[in-house]
Amino acid sequence: MQPMTPKAQPPRMEVNDEVVPFDSADARQNGLEPSAPPPPWIERGQQGCDVDKLVVIPRRWILFTPLAAIACTVLLVIEMQENAKGVDFQQPPTDACEFRLAIRDTPFCAAAFKVNPMFGPSTEPLLRMGAISGELIVKKGEAWRLFSGMWLHGGVLHCLMNVVALLGIGCQLERAHGTLRVGAIYMLSGIFGSIATAMFAPHVLSVGASGAIFGLIGAVVGDIFMNWDLREKPCRALLLVCFVSAVQLLVGTMPLLDNFAHFFGFVMGFVSSIAFLDRLNKGARCWHTCSRRCFRTVAAAIVFLAFLVGLALLYGIGGADANELCPACHEISCKEFPWGCTDNGGHCWWTCDQMQNAPTASCGGEAVWPRGANTTQGYVDLTCPPRAGGNASKVRVEPLDLTHWGTDFLGELCKDHCASR
């Protein structure tokens, strides 16, 4: 009678939040090859030639992304309510409040499309609620606008596009890396984009979460690099994200779009992702851990220095001026199209100087020539747009040479004499 040998027990795999080695060749010999594919939260990567590894990505709660989307939507409703304050619905509609709705005696209204083509409020409610304005931030100390502007939107279309993009990108990142990391990247990118807008375009009124959302797109690029071996086709994913980002940034060079927030938000999101996002497949060796900490330290230092430099340029510390330091940076936000065209030949679809100098819907002026005087002797009565909580103001600019009187000339006067009021 032969001695009985104990039956070999199959090797145990302990699953946790780290990498679990799994030799597929040995598994087949021992009858341990799973008949079903791994669950969706487990991703398969390659290590060497013959060894597969199963990386368990914990299912984290998605909290920040839906809350941010809800906050943007609620604030848009409040904007519509603010736009209806003081409006008598019994009177005929006006350009500032043309589309009207009352729900249980609570009025809401949106401006005419010629005032706001995105089906939203006029300028005044946005100013009161905290739109980004470099002049008000610097000259009146309203630094809170750097934070509030990223939660406001110009209208229903603007908010809808941003919320869809936020939910699509933010949920994916938050599920893999957690609420705190994604929330930190979102806030840093949004505020840094606001600083860039106020720094390079102090006369422009800007709202929207586009800078923060582009920061999340930059974080996706950083996530692909850090977790390259966990993706089935990382090159395709990287090229797709970069292509979409490039198209969006090129579209942002059209007039009336705030591409400063897009570009600088994207850069901040990419750098901060290196500092905040986690390497899901952590190396077991010491030098892997040391390299991760080194990259995170460098990225965190770059983020800190970027904010210091941005605030110094915004407030003109030491006489610093962003447009003098980088005179070509204005092309980030606006570029003549087709590229390389000249306005003299009349081949440009638009020119940035014309769009930037064009007076706003609430800024106007009337040129006056005294009787018997020629066009080199006159003055202009400007109607400056109202500031937060105030009314429109009248400004007389004299004496003026009105030989080149026109839209561009009026736009320059509005920018020079209404901005500081």
Residues with a known catalytic role: 210, 262
Amino acid 23 reads D
How many CB atoms neighbour CB 97 within 10 A?
Answer: 25
Angle, alpha carbons 226-244-355 (nearest 5°): 130
Rg (CA), the chain: 28
Question: Is-contact 162 72, C-beta < 8 A?
Answer: yes
User: For residues 165 and 248, what is the distance between their CA atoms, to the nearest angstrom?
Assistant: 12
How many CB atoms neighbour CB 297 within 10 A?
Answer: 11
Residue 273's contacts (CB-CB under 8 Å, 6 or more residues apart) are 185, 218, 219, 221, 222, 223, 226
Distance between alpha carbon 183 and the CA centroid of its chain, in Å?
14
Q: Cα dihedral sign for 365, 370, 374, 379?
A: negative
Distance between alpha carbon 112 and the CA centroid of its chain, in Å?
26
Please choose, from the candidates 76, 255, 63, 45, the residue with its C-alpha nearest in 3D space to the C-alpha of residue 154. 76
Token pair recorded at residue 190: 């949004």
User: For residues 128 and 116, what is the distance between their CA atoms, to the nearest angstrom?
Assistant: 17
